[in-house]
Structure 1
């Protein structure tokens, strides 16, 4: 197999904040709110962003952000998002952020458990399929970031399908990185700890002791922010991470590194 070499005739522009030359475009699935919204807004500093989300109108606006409404697991919808991004500027990066947070215990019918695992995994598989296919058709290098979770390595109770799917997403990340690194397509993942979002803040209101518990779980003593996740994703998509491929980057304040203290009471 011939080694990949990047095109030598590229238009030179002033580098953006992460060093990537402009203009470029990105797709962020599940970018309508929460962490996905933070990622979309951060990448809008680099170029045009297409948010692929089930939501209707976003409820917020940015001159460089457009919405494609639909199911990110549907290949036709994902292709429509890629085409919309390409129409604005060459597609350079894809972020698989969309996820489903529903539980089914292993005592449930296997079809229920497998349905939820598949529903989550399909979002990343379809996104990788679409991004890789699009970049190959255009003969262009690019980058994919899959959003995973600390639960891929350390599940919490009541999240079996989600944790199982995220473990598969991390394996998918490595497999796509190996298969398509020679094409100049880098694939990495971020494994998130707890991050403050509207959903998290609602949970906080209903569980007054959660701040103390989260501080104990995260060695930095707090949960993360969407902006901190977005910076890590922007780095992995940027030319500054040009030799990073097949990595799973913990963005969790040290949560995955910290084991339970056997002497703690």
Structure 2
């Protein structure tokens, strides 16, 4: 696929779902990885399973202190960070805006938007020490198009799309590329729970995708790997849909 030998990566939300698939893919391709997650047991188990070149750091992406510790520990173990995958996220509350509490809205934005901001800001000095790098922000198809009853999630993911483009311009002189990935329905534990709550509406959503199926986490992880690799050395500021054709319509 792509060669990530010598890359030092932090992958948030790396204990399950797309993040765990990315950890496995990056490890297979030669990277050294810090799994950042609040799911300590699952994160430690994955790190122990893969062994060489993988470590776990408890990371609440809304905590500046956790970010600083994760970067410091990664540098101590593997050297300066040259890949960041901002993958951790919240699915939103899936309710009408009139029923959405301010606290619920702020929580989703804190995780999905502020967490990406903190990651980019606090990994930047390490990437500069590394001589450059790649930041991959996991946005969503709903960071490109809207959805009813999903205002909190759409707001946070559109913000990720915009922050990615702004950071790509700002970080380019430091040889740091920044791109966003926009997935459709991916069969992760978090999404499966959301789909159950949506019932028949979930089937209608899948039917809107020309490929007419959900993605496997590995299909998104492989795109992360491409953007992290030198194969994407001239790709920055891109918003890459990986959504089965949903946003092509």
Shorter-chain TM-score: what band? 0.7 to 0.9
2:189 — aligned with what? 198
2:15 maps to 32
Report what 1:96 is aligned to.
Answer: 86
Q: Which structure 1 segments of 5+ residues have no match? A: 1-16, 259-265
Task: Select the residue among 231, 234, 250 that pairs with 2:222.
Answer: 231
> Which structure has greater helix proportion?
2
Instruction: Tell me the equivalent position of 2:68.
Output: 79
Instruction: Give the Å deviation of 1:217.
Output: 1.6
Q: Residues 26 and 113 from structure 1, CA distance in 2 versus in 1: closer, same or farther, beyond 3 angstroms?
A: same
Contact 1:24 1:89 in 2 (8 A): no
- Give 1:119 deviation, angstroms: 3.6
Listed as ranges, the matches of 1:238-257 within 5 Å are 238-257=229-248
Gaps of 5+ in 2: none
Count of residue pairs brought into register by the alignment: 240
Matching of residue 53 in structure 1 with residue 7 in structure 2: no
| Contact 2:22-2:221 within 8 A present in 1 as well | yes
Distance 1:105 1:212 in 2: 20
What residue number does 1:164 align with? Answer: 155
Q: Deviations over 1:2-28 (max 9, x none)?
A: xxxxxxxxxxxxxxx5134x3221000
CA contact under 8 A between 1:214 and 1:221: conserved in structure 2?
A: no
Cα separation, 1, equivalents of 2:213 and 2:202: 8
What's the CA shift string for 1:84-128, capped at 9, x where partnerless? 222333322000011122326433454553443234211100111
Q: Which residue does 1:62 correspond to in 2?
A: 50
Cα RMSD, aligned residues only: 2.2
Q: In 2, Cα distance between the equivalents of 1:141 and 1:72?
A: 22
Whole-angstrom CA distance in 2 between matches of 1:194 and 1:146: 17
Range 116-125 or range 29-38, more displaced:
116-125
Distance apart, 1:139 and its partner CA? 5.0
1:211 CA drift (Å): 7.3
- CA shift at 1:209, angstroms? 4.8
CA contact (8 A) 2:62 2:110 kept: no
Following TM superposition, by how much is the alpha carbon of 1:31 offset from its aligned partner in structure 2, in angstroms? 0.8
Shift in CA distance, 200/74, structure 1 to aligned 2, threshold 3 Å: closer
Normalised to the residue count of structure 1, the TM-score between the two structures is: 0.82
* 1:118-197 pair list within 5 angstroms: 118-136=110-128, 138=129, 140-197=131-188
How far the C-alpha of 1:77 sits from its partner, in A, is: 1.0
What's the CA shift for 1:153? 2.2
Q: TM-score normalised to the size of structure 2?
A: 0.87
Aligned counterparts of 1:208 and 1:161: Cα–Cα separation in 2: 20
